[in-house]
Amino acid sequence: MHIHRLEKIWLIFGISMLFVFLAVLGVGTFAMGVAPPGGHHHAVDPDTVMEKEPFNNPGLREIGENEYEAVMLAFAFGYSPERMEVPVGAKVHFIVTSPDVVHGFAIPGTNVNMMAVPGEVNSVSHTFKDPGEYLILCNEYCGAAHEMMMTTIIVQ
């Protein structure tokens, strides 16, 4: 079988780039300690999550001056707590998990968008600068009546 000279050049170039890529990746991973994010991995037992701190008492807690922690559970067709109120300019740290199936956790018009995965604790923070009523929606299909899964944050 005869391979044209330009095809040989492209094969050599492609294979060389593959080795360069793997070398850079290997040096970054092993020599420099580069790793994907996830050093703050928190896991919970989804069967007993509603019996253990902090998920046994979900809700909004003030943790500083105009700073709040919202511990939330996403479950089949709802969130707990059902409603929260914070002042304008409040920074809210959302801590979310699920005891049953994968749910979405999104606040349209903000940077809040994450998954509530059984056995995993996910978190995101957002500062509410504008007053209004913010809807928290499940953006991951979780079963019948999924479209009814929502809660609200009232910023006043």
- Catalytic center residues: 75, 77
**Residue 139, class by beta-carbon neighbours within 10 Å (0-12 exposed, 13-18 middle, 19+ buried)?**
middle
Of 48, 148, 54, nearest to 95 (Cα)? 54
